[in-house]
Structure 1
């Protein structure tokens, strides 16, 4: 015979309640038919756990109840790896009677008369244990096993509350375990914030993906998680949400009428801007104050965001807020000099070059307008002045460092635009200041020397003049 006693638990689950006295009962049965058995109970952590009685006698084939308790209430569960255990030892007692001191002496001397009947692990369970395991202070090496055990004693409301903590902490394994155990994935707090929005704030893509795949239902009256992701430049999260919700409204607005694109612009999140525009967000949309994303980017001095939005906007540069302000006006108020050219001076310089307004051109350049700034067709002010034949404007631009061989969107230099329009004097001036003597034709690029250009201009100019008169 290798044991005299049989316990009713292989593992003893003790429900832990924070700062409360915690205990759990278990049974031991005497397997002997004719003889009483002496019992000794010891804990592997006697400073933490104690017993209602450490020594006892169980009559033949009888069962006795014992209780293990935490020695004192504590704020967090005394978890350990490996877990604390109860050692059950026994010894035959022919007399059937003995005092406590006799039993203590009996078990103090090792020998073949002592049987080690069982080692019972103590598993602390319940919502307070699970909450502790979710906290950063928990460093248990067997956390996943302990967590699964702990939540088996939680009801749905407790599981759901723990799920919110797990999502906030970004622990995907615990999130999965809680949902599988019965937590409500569509739970919302008192302010209506969803678990997905909380997951986006935590920044964990795997958590957000699990919530969506577990049946989360979006509520467009409340949910604004695209806004949160856009503000933090989390394109990966936005991709997951757009894939998870095929009908998601990209232009959904918050309480101020702002879309996710507005938020990305405010924070200068270039990757978020690119993604949102690529999937269909409206660049020129306005909020309740009449502000476009460009207005916000200009107001915050977000140069890259301003540049990007200008390249994808139809009218935002010229749009005015309800206070009558353009994006340029907002940039001026804040003193963002580097934005002046993008938002206003560049346009003004191009316009002045087109009409040969040298005075305005000088003013623009003095204020920081880029002499080689391009319009939507790739034209610089020099392209425009050369094409119009404005020699004084061409001279001014060259004196300010304009590149004479910069190409536009179709591969034409200012010189080629002058040739195209038949402006000989402008063409000769550009040649004298380093412009390359080359013309673009249907068959490729053909090089000319100075004399060829003179002959070309002498032929083109009358034709051009005749066309102008017509």
Structure 2
């Protein structure tokens, strides 16, 4: 935790300006009033090229009765933004700041620790004193200051350092961010017979969306040693675009890791709001489709990314719209090309099967008009016509027969499936 340090004994200055770490040098000096402390000893940035990178700082007032004014300065104002750059912390209370690194095309010239980037947190009982203080030397008017260095880390730079053979940088990043170690162990074994760390995990962790899409859904079921899917890993790394790509590829957003956390839980814990937005967008799409909320759905689909997800049963928003008979939603989802009209859940039910189950002749007719296969069968062999006959939907059965459906080869008995309540033949 970074705090203002005591000043030298002679002559006694009115302000202490000292590094955030290195307390031993001032241990035997007379104490000056410490107004503020910073929980972090460095500004830790998870760097990603061409993206805004963020870090949070937590300030705590040490004054028992008066507000402490603060002001944050940086040696690189063209690179960094601070929000808020100044303010006041109430007595013995805390406040949070956000540091934003503007998008940078290339990796930092020096990392993990930057040679040229610094932050100065000035504090005083008088806001006017902050404006009269020098930014790079001892301040005046009872102002104390804490200097913070910048540490650049994250999956991208770890990979970059490893590929360059920079063992020192790799060690420094892992010392500060040990949770990144699995990224350097792609073949590590995992317990309970689960699959090994898949290339999809590594691509998701470093935000390589092109590689994620190239690898496709074949490795989607792989888990790491902590039971995390590739979507968990993308969420933990704050890789919103990779998370959106995985959702669109059919990643199970409801999957839980060994600790019972979903990818959304992980993103919320880490404070990665962009990932949270992607995962919540998928949930909102599913809810809007279920309710037939066309206006909300149109707004969500305009964002495109992260809207074609599936639940734990493999059901898409199109499945939900079909079983509820929301024809306008079906037309939007399938007609725009956003979702495949023949998409299947884990038991092979297509939207046409669920439209039959929902008893909506209008939805069945619309799906057929849009090209749905009238003879489509589930994994247990149930066709839409068999389902309609078994459920007693005579009008729908007549409609399906009129479109060429043939029940001659239908098994005699059909039963409801356990996952989606659809009909499957025994």
Does the alignment reach a TM-score above 0.5? no
Rg larger in structure: 1
Output the TM-score relative to the length of structure 2: 0.36
Output the TM-score relative to the length of structure 1: 0.33
In terms of fraction of residues, the more helix-rich structure is: 1
Query: Highest relative contact order (Cα 8 Å, sep 6+), 1 or 2?
Result: 2
